Amino acid sequence: MQGSVSARPFQRTWLSWFADLVLLAMVSGPFAAPFLAASGIPILVQISDIIYFMGRQVCPQPEMGVALAGDHIAAVCMRCYGTIFGLIGMRWLYQRDRGQSAYWLDQYGLVGFGLTFALCMAYPAELALQGFDWWPMDNVRMTLFGAIAGIGLGAYIMPIFHGHPKED
């Protein structure tokens, strides 16, 4: 089929590459920070300090990170990691179907944005519920609520970041 869209191989845009690079940094940075800090090598400790600083800027509870290397904890809490896991899952799904499924929320316009917003509110809702005695802090629960937010966000932004280049 000469000249059809299906005849040409998919070419990634710079935005797609950049989005994947940011996602890779969000996955690896907070996980690597405790190991870099525990190494004792001055340059690696400085890199871990930068990662911990960035984690404190984005995570509401970085002190609840999981201990990974002795007394060194991850740079973000498990709710933040749950969000990243949700984003990774949606990136994997987008790679498989290229936005053809009904669950990609950007195709629904303002309604899709509203649903994305509602799903992302699982993150602060769980954070607020921790203030009540009947809702204990639990890493599994935090991860699940973060994953809901990540899935919602990913269902909206993956087609925007990784969609096909526009035709001229």
Could you state, in chain order, the average pLDDT of each consecutive group of 10 residues for the chain (168 residues)?
52 87 91 92 94 92 86 91 94 89 90 94 93 89 95 93 64
| Residue 123 lies inside a defined structural domain of this protein | yes
Task: Report if residue 58 sits inside a domain.
Answer: yes
Q: Does residue 77 lie in a domain region?
A: yes
Give the residues across from 67 on adjacent strands. 73
Burial 128-147 (b: 16+ CB within 10 A, else e): eebeeeeeeeeeebbbbbbb
- Domain contains 129: yes
pLDDT in the model for residue 150: 96
Note whether residue 93 is domain-resident: yes
- Report pLDDT for 22: 92
**Any domain includes 51:** yes
Residue 72 counted as domain residue: yes
Q: What is the pLDDT of residue 4?
A: 47
130 domain residue, yes or no: yes
Please tell me the distance from the alpha carbon of residue 137 to that of residue 139, in angstroms, as a whole number.
7
Range of the domain at 61: 13-162
- CB contact at 8 A, 157 and 121: no
* Structural domains of the chain, count: 1
